[in-house]
Amino acid sequence: MSKNNTATPNTTNEIPRAPVDHNERISSLGSSNPAVIDRQAGLALFKDMTLGRRFEDKCAEMYYRGKMFGFVHLYNGQEAVSSGVIGAMQKKKDWFCSTYRDHVHALSAGVPAREVMSELFGKETGCSKGRGGSMHLFSKEHHLLGGYAFIGEGIPVALGAAFTSRYKREVLSDESSNSVTAAFFGDGTCNNGQFFECLNMAQLWKLPILFVVENNKWAIGMAHDRATSDPEIWRKASAFGMAGEEVDGMDVLAVRGAAERAIKRAREGNGPTLLECLTYRFRGHSLADPDELRSAEEKQFWATKDPLKALERDLLNSSFATSEELRAIEKEIDAEVEDAVEFALNAPEPNPEELTNYIWAEG
């Protein structure tokens, strides 16, 4: 399920590797080092992933019914990454930094579905008080450092959180300060300057951070293999002497196993990890995208790797759950999502007199 190295730097005269197709890469990953879980953890993962999927499906419905506006980027197909990484971390202690595809990261971090849905409707009861909308979810309580509309924008913010954790421990002598930060971003971000600058600083200072690349093969309409000289992003860690790992991002146990290793490394003071999760979004880039660039064959290939169906097979084969129990969880989640919609629809609009609130720090 993963490949990793200790990131030995390449020599200057190394012959470039032939590009490897994204589909071939995920097919070649072995079944080594998955997370070991019990029934309780397995059901928690299934519940979290189901919430993410059903919540996003409902967002699509509300958008097309004219109840939700602006740009809305859904996470369908990528749930194993959010649940696998955040589920391995400590909520309200560790920190999370997202992108414009942030709804499910917020839910996995513990932000209530009511608050997330309210934010998407621009209501006062939203986690960002209706000021942020789909791409700018934030919750101090749940240590969600924000969603960001511009790619790479959140990586330096996440780096700052990781720096704060180490500074408190080593300079301010706070022995309880050992939080880890996860920065999520897509493959399209990995040729941006912030990415390389932050990797360099994180490794130089051995900061407790996971750089989580959600490589879903497409940056809007640009195929990843056409946009970068080395499409295997995890190998870029070698330029900084950083640990790097490639993992099947459609397998939540593979992701969780890789995350556990990276979190352990970070908490013990051994520095960051670049974790590349090979995944796929089942919908277009946004709900305004007709999704005409990707081939039917490609979509069909990835549909067979649906992370929710894969986890269900694992749970049934391990006798951790029955089909009836899983269907009951789905009904429970459907009710939670419906409740979130009703709550958001009936919630108050932001007060126009408070338009300038939350812009500057208040003394």
Q: Could you tell me the mean pLDDT of each successive run of 10 residues in the chain, 363 residues long?
A: 50 50 77 88 98 98 93 97 98 96 98 98 96 96 97 97 97 95 97 96 98 96 90 96 97 97 97 98 95 94 97 97 98 98 97 87 76
Alpha carbon separation from 319 to 43, 48, 87, 313 (Å, rounded): 12, 19, 21, 10
327 part of a folded domain: yes
338 part of a folded domain: yes
11 part of a folded domain: no
Q: What is the pLDDT of residue 28?
A: 77
Q: What is the CA radius of gyration of the chain?
A: 20
18 part of a folded domain: no
214 part of a folded domain: yes
8 part of a folded domain: no
Q: Which stretches of 65-123 are assigned E, i.e. beta strand?
A: 95-97
Q: Give how many domains the chain has, as a whole number.
A: 1
* 293 Ramachandran zone, left/alpha/beta (phi>0; psi -120 to 50): alpha
232 part of a folded domain: yes
Predicted TM-score (pTM) of the model is 0.92
Domain range holding 228?
34-345
| Residue 236, domain CATH | 3.40.50.970
Residue 108 has, within 13 A of its CA and on its CB side, a CA count of: 31
Q: What is the pLDDT of residue 20?
A: 67
12 part of a folded domain: no
